[in-house]
């Protein structure tokens, strides 16, 4: 009996470490993406031709990006420091601020140590020094900049926090009031390990009557320390249910052997859930797990989009289909709830999915927000502990899949792939004569923004993305992406150049004919497209599509131009 409990404890401990490693990787990528985005805005500010244009651009950046606190201009010759928001710059003149060059990004870019802008208001800055005459700082508001890390968790109680090595203060903590305070965990032994030369590893320490297990990573150009972990009690809690099960069946040896084998196999299957990076793969692995360990007559998997209040299903190719749009239905489900219902107690979503038998309803949450609902049809109740374990592990695994996918591969506004994902997809299809690449540009988009406002422009971008996904559905489409601003691209299969052109022209006609209502008035817009066959390299492919797009604009816009370039 003790052996089974110990084995389950070791499995839970290993799962905690694996989740912590994954959390550190995701957190590091998120922060790096934000620093890169800040660098591009600094380059934009440096291009300003006058003080008036500089102030206008800076205020627009601050208005539309709550993660930024202020823009600071420093004249190296006069040593004058100016805040765009006209705040005091006494904090920025502190000689104790330490700058770390980000050489891999640019020799002129550096990141500061943590400093207190005003009492209790902690920030850090990314600095661009194009010459010896001036500097431009873009300050990050830590109350906003790193709060997206709150979704990263280890088991139930663990979380991620980040420390500035120079000040040894917290840059991020799930409790915002802790930002800027000294880190107890860092001084619990991690700082000594880093000082000895160990940049990555595990550490355990004792704090507030609890043994803490952590994984730390200080191997990054920011001079930050990323730490993820949880309490030992959290690891023990994950194994308590199986210890109780073992006690209950202690008198029956053959049941002990059967349950032990079942637990071992279930843990292996659930670990595979944690290894998935795509929602479609997660769904497939979840179905395989349920098929092995639960008696059922079918599984229905529904994702929930909280921004649009949409419930949608997913096929095996990754195509989603919206089932319901209901702003109030999400409040029907509660975190941790597992219900076994008859057909007459089915909720509205189950009825929409045509579930007419007894079933389990398993809502999955991330940070108290609904992310999915799973229905398992079952004529008879299953072992509740198995159902609970599958639900709990699935909730954590799906939360990490969605967060990782959002941070690493998706455009935030449209949920299309980003340019890095589609570039990789082009590389995978080089010289495939049946794969084509198209660049899409919304015609006169700046005029739409100027005449109708950016909110209307954002809706036009989302509308274009939805129509593109509908027109180029998977598996015919390999990847849909937002390439930047009002520019999109799609990688798709076609039998030949004529077929590729026809597919793109159908998309162009759909956009042209579709009337978008803005302030109860129809608003029509058009697109231009450049199409080419994928070959040689991603750079040549994109360049040829770009040339075709440029030609389409030159022909008067609202055109599709096919580039048949060969060499």
Please report, for the chain, the start and end positions of each structural domain, with discontinuous segments joined by +: 10-229, 275-404, 419-562
Strand order in the sheet with 435-442: 477-484, 487-493, 435-442, 527-533, 560-563
- Percentage of residues of the chain with pLDDT beyond 70: 90
b or e along 11-42 (b: 16 or more beta carbons within 10 Å of the residue's beta carbon)?
A: bbbebbbebbbbbbbbbbebbeebbeebbebb
The fold of 275-404 is: Beta-Lactamase (3.30.450)
Q: How far apart are CA 246 and CA 260, in angstroms?
A: 8
| Span 13-56, pLDDT tens digits | 777 777 788 888 888 888 888 888 889 899 999 998 899 999 99
Tell me if 168 sits within 8 A of 98, measured CB to CB.
no
DSSP SS3 for 451: helix
CA 337 to chain centroid, in Å, comes to: 26
pLDDT of 314 higher than 50: yes
Q: How far apart are CA 443 and CA 526, in angstroms?
A: 6
Q: Which CATH entry fits the domain spanning 419-562: 1.10.760.10, 3.40.190.10, 3.30.9.10, 3.30.70.270?
A: 3.30.70.270
Average pLDDT value for the chain: 85
CA-based torsion, 192, 194, 195, 197: positive or negative: positive
Q: How far apart are CA 197 and CA 206, in angstroms?
A: 23
Contacts of residue 73, defined as CB under 8 A and 6 or more positions apart, other chains included, come to 54, 81, 82, 84, 134, 135, 136, 137
CA-based torsion, 60, 62, 63, 66: positive or negative: positive
Q: How far apart are CA 127 and CA 106, in angstroms?
A: 11
| Span 360-382, pLDDT tens digits | 999 999 888 899 999 999 988 88
pLDDT of 335 higher than 70: yes
Q: How far apart are CA 205 and CA 272, in angstroms?
A: 30
Q: What is the DSSP letter of 131?
A: S
Query: Among 423, 433, 506, 430, which residue's Cα sits nearest to residue 472?
Result: 506
Q: How far apart are CA 228 and CA 162, in angstroms?
A: 9
Binned at pLDDT 50, 70 and 90, residue 567 comes out as very low
Tell me if 218 sits within 8 A of 225, measured CB to CB.
yes
Q: How far apart are CA 271 and CA 339, in angstroms?
A: 25
* Beta-strand runs (E) in 428-543: 435-442, 477-484, 487-493, 516-518, 521-523, 527-533
Q: Is 324 exposed, middle or buried (0-12, 13-18, 19+ CB in 10 A)?
A: middle
pLDDT of 328 higher than 60: yes
Q: How far apart are CA 246 and CA 230, in angstroms?
A: 25
| Span 161-206, pLDDT tens digits | 899 989 989 988 888 888 888 887 787 788 888 888 888 888 877 7
Provide mean pLDDT across the span 444-468. 90
Helix orientation angle between 384-409 and 253-274, rounded to the nearest 10 degrees: 10
Q: How far apart are CA 97 and CA 81, in angstroms?
A: 15
Q: How far apart are CA 29 and CA 543, in angstroms?
A: 28
Between 197 and 6, the more confident residue is: 197
Provide mean pLDDT across the span 132-140. 92
φ, ψ of residue 411 in degrees (nearest 5): -75, 130
* Residue 467: predicted pLDDT: 94
pLDDT of 557 higher than 90: yes
pLDDT of 520 higher than 70: yes
Binned at pLDDT 50, 70 and 90, residue 562 comes out as very high
């Amino acid at each position: 009996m003790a052996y089974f409990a110990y084995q389950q404890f070791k499995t839970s401990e290993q799962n905690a470490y694996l989740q912590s490693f994954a959390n550190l990787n995701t957190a590091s990528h998120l922060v790096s993406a934000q620093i890169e985005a800040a660098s591009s805005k600094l380059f934009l500010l440096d291009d300003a031709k006058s003080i008036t244009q500089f102030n206008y651009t800076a205020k627009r950046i601050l208005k539309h990006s709550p993660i930024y606190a202020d823009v600071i201009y420093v004249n190296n010759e006069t040593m004058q420091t100016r805040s765009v928001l006209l705040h005091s710059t006494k904090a920025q003149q502190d000689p104790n601020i330490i700058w770390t060059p980000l050489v891999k990004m640019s020799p002129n870019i550096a990141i500061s140590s943590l400093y207190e802008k005003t009492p209790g208001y902690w920030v850090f800055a990314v600095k661009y020094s194009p010459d010896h005459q001036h500097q431009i700082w873009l300050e990050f508001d830590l109350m906003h900049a790193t709060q997206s890390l709150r979704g990263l968790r280890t088991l139930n109680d663990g979380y991620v926090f980040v420390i500035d090595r120079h000040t040894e203060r917290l840059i991020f903590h799930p409790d915002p009031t802790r930002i800027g305070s000294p880190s107890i965990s860092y001084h619990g032994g991690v700082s000594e390990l880093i000082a000895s030369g160990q940049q990555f590893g595990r550490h355990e320490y004792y704090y507030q009557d609890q043994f803490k297990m952590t994984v730390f990573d200080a191997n990054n150009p920011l001079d930050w320390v990323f730490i993820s972990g949880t309490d030992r009690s959290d690891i023990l809690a994950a194994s308590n249910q199986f210890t109780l099960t073992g006690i209950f069946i202690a008198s029956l040896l053959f049941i002990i052997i059967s349950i032990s084998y079942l637990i071992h196999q279930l843990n292996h299957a659930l670990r595979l859930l944690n290894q998935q990076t795509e929602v479609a793969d997660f769904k497939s692995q979840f179905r395989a797990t349920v098929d092995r360990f639960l008696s059922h007559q079918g599984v229905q998997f529904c994702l929930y989009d909280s921004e649009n209040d949409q419930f949608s299903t997913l096929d095996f190719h990754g195509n989603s289909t919206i089932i319901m749009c209901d702003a109030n239905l999400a409040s029907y489900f509660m975190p941790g709830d597992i219900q076994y219902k008859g057909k007459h107690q089915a909720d509205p979503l189950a009825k929409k999915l045509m579930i007419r038998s007894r079933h389990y309803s398993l809502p999955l949450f991330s940070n108290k927000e609904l992310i999915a609902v799973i229905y398992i049809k079952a004529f008879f109740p299953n072992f509740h502990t198995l159902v609970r374990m599958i639900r709990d592990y699935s909730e954590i695994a799906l939360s990490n899949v969605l967060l990782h996918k959002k941070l690493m591969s998706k455009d935030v506004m449209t949920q299309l792939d980003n340019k890095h994902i589609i570039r990789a997809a082009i590389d995978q299809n080089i010289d495939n004569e049946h794969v084509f690449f198209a660049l899409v540009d919304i015609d006169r988009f700046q005029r739409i923004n100027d005449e109708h406002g950016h909110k209307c422009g954002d809706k036009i971008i989302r509308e274009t993305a939805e129509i593109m996904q509908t027109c180029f559905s998977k598996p015919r489409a390999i990847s849909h992406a937002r390439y930047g601003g009002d520019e999109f691209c799609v990688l798709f299969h076609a039998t030949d150049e004529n077929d590729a052109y026809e597919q793109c022209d159908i998309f162009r006609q759909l956009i042209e004919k579709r009337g978008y209502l803005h302030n109860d008035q129809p608003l029509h817009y058009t697109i231009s497209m450049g199409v080419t066959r994928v070959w040689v390299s991603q750079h040549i492919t994109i360049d040829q599509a770009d040339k075709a797009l440029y030609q389409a604009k030159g022909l008067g816009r609202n055109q599709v131009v096919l580039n048949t370039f060969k060499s």
